[in-house]
Amino acid sequence: MELSIGTTVDLPGGGLGVLRFKGQVEGKTGLFAGVELVGDSVSMGRNSGDFKGRKYFNTRVPNSGLFLPYKKLQLSQMENKSPYTGEIIESETPVRAPRANTTPALATPPMVTSLPNRSPLSFAPINKPPQPRGGKFPIITLKSPVEIHPIKGDVENTGSQRRPSAPRTGSSEDHSSHPGSPKERKFESQIQVLQVQLKKSQDERNSLSSKVERFSKELDERNRILKNLQSTIHDHLEPALAEMEKELANKDSKMVRLKKNAEAQRQEFMEVIESLERQAAESAEMYEAELMKYQNDSQTMSSLEKRVEELGKMLNNNESAKANLVQQIAQLTKTLQEKDAKMKDMTAEIAKQHELTNDLTKRHEEDKKELARLTKLSEDASKSQPRNFEDELQINEKTIKQLTQKNRDLQDKLKQLESHQTELNKARAKSPQMYTKDAMDLVRHQRDSIEREKNEEIRNLQARIASLETGSLVSKVPSLTNSSSSINSPASSPVLGRVSQVVDGQLRVYIPPEPVDASAGRNKWCGLCERTGHESIDCPYENDMF
């Protein structure tokens, strides 16, 4: 049985809801139904009509929505269907009018009357059962198998009018006019059959009306889609077609220009060939004239032959020289390409050296700041500590002076590196071929030496911090983690990790070296099915209810 949107449905396991959605759900296979829970079932809601960030239907109460398989909902409707759906269940026993009492009626003056004329039977709609106009027929209820009883007052009045002072005798006249007589029961059964047929026809009409309405909606939707497609064609395809035609025209014009250029180049090439042919013809004529001249002179014949042999050798030599020249040109071209590649590598290396110089300059500034802070802390410590630490503070001041001198030397080397790099740039601008591998090796050597001296200086600072910690000066020494984190990892400087917890005499909040899971040791809990033993990502009931 098909369920329409907006109908009230029975949920599996009990509860009521209103069908709000029917269709596919992203990330799931099969047909699903979205139900808005009502009444006492609202607490069973899992969502507000959305799943994985996508909204499928709206709910009046937050978290009162539920998704479940559509077939499962259909089976629940078939199982919970009421057995009384408007069908008429006829009783095997005749309906009898109850008697008001068993005592004889009071005596009244005899009267000869007849039953009032009954009005013709009328049919009412399905939702309203037919009511007798004169009030003499029993009320028929279609929704439940309730026993049919006649109206008490009418039966008593009829009996009292016919026989006021004597009890009923069961004559044929009484049975023919009694409301429960076979004739009236036949009429009533016919009325019920007609009502059932009328209900079925109205149900068919309602279903046909719903189908017509659904088809009308589908037709409107298709018309809307067709209009959207037409507007899309008008807005996008036609401009795209015009643009393509414009591009085709541009390409045609380019082809025409290319043809003209090719024709002009071919004409120039033909002119060059013609000029070469003329030169060759002139050379041949000159050689022929010389040959004729030598042929006429018999005395110079031998010398002419020798000259011809020499010219042949010269021609062969010229060809071999030409081949060698071509090879030399190829080698020079290859060498030039290698030089260009080296130039690119050197340019990249120079850029890296610039970055390294900037980094070293920044580190030097940070070291200067740290030294200033250490000097100030040493002065403060000398004021606050007892006199027995004055010798140690003097030693510390000497060490700081030495570190300051080392930083100055490092700054001088940085300046030398910058000047050397400037000279290399000038040399490369003057003669790129001179900028060879030796210059790159020199730059790398200087960079490695500066790095080694920088690391040595940082190790000295760390050792100095350790000595200050042993001398009860930990509370006055700031952390040097920021200045050394870019060179050494935290694992290589445990002293910095301990000192960094105290700043200006106050203890910092402890930060663990590795992230800690706050839910470690707890039982697994699934928020989808609200059960223990597994998590939401591994829920085995995800495709049933979510």
CATH classification at residue 21 = 2.30.30.190
Residues 150 and 268 in one domain: yes
Rounded Cα distance, 86 and 61, in Å: 34
Residues 232 and 288 in one domain: yes
| pLDDT in the model for residue 439 | 53
Residues 123 and 249 in one domain: yes
Instruction: Find the farthest-apart pair of alpha carbons in the chain and give their distance in angstroms, rounded.
Output: 190
In the DSSP assignment, the letter for residue 455 is H
In a domain, 114, yes or no: no
Residues 254 and 350 in one domain: no
Q: What is the mean pLDDT of residues 474-485?
A: 40
Q: What is the mean pLDDT of residues 502-524?
A: 70
| pLDDT in the model for residue 402 | 75
Residues 267 and 384 in one domain: no
Residues 352 and 429 in one domain: yes
In a domain, 146, yes or no: yes
Residues 355 and 481 in one domain: yes
Residues 203 and 264 in one domain: yes
Listed range (141-145, 253-257, 523-527) with the worst mean pLDDT = 141-145
Residues 192 and 143 in one domain: yes
Residues 392 and 455 in one domain: yes
In a domain, 143, yes or no: yes
| pLDDT in the model for residue 152 | 38
| pLDDT in the model for residue 98 | 38
Last residue of a domain, one of 79, 111, 137: 79
| pLDDT in the model for residue 100 | 37
Listed range (36-45, 381-390, 509-518) with the worst mean pLDDT = 381-390
In a domain, 98, yes or no: no
pLDDT band at 441 (very low <50, low <70, confident <90, very high): low
In a domain, 302, yes or no: no
Which of 166-170, 421-425, 434-438 tops mean pLDDT?
421-425
Write out pLDDT tens, residues 413-434: 777 777 766 776 666 565 544 4
| pLDDT in the model for residue 537 | 81
In the DSSP assignment, the letter for residue 475 is G
Measuring CA to CA, how many Å separate 514 from each of 135, 510, 511, 546?
A: 90, 12, 9, 35
Q: At which residue do the structure tokens 């995800």 appear?
A: 542
| pLDDT in the model for residue 232 | 82
pLDDT at 218 over 60: yes
In a domain, 334, yes or no: no
Listed range (126-135, 197-206, 251-260, 421-430) with the worst mean pLDDT = 126-135
Q: Tokens representing 129?
A: 């059962």
In a domain, 386, yes or no: yes
Residues 402 and 485 in one domain: yes
pLDDT band at 543 (very low <50, low <70, confident <90, very high): low
| pLDDT in the model for residue 48 | 92
Per the CB < 8 A criterion, the answer to whether 127 and 142 are in contact is no
Number of domains in the chain: 4
* Pairing label, strands 50-51, 54-55: antiparallel
Residues 233 and 348 in one domain: no
List the domain range (segments joined by +) for residue 535. 516-546
Write out pLDDT tens, residues 323-332: 777 787 777 7
Give the rounded percent of residues in the chain with a pLDDT score beyond 70: 60
pLDDT at 376 over 70: yes
Measuring CA to CA, how many Å separate 216 from each of 52, 208, 220, 228, 265?
A: 33, 12, 6, 18, 70
In a domain, 323, yes or no: no
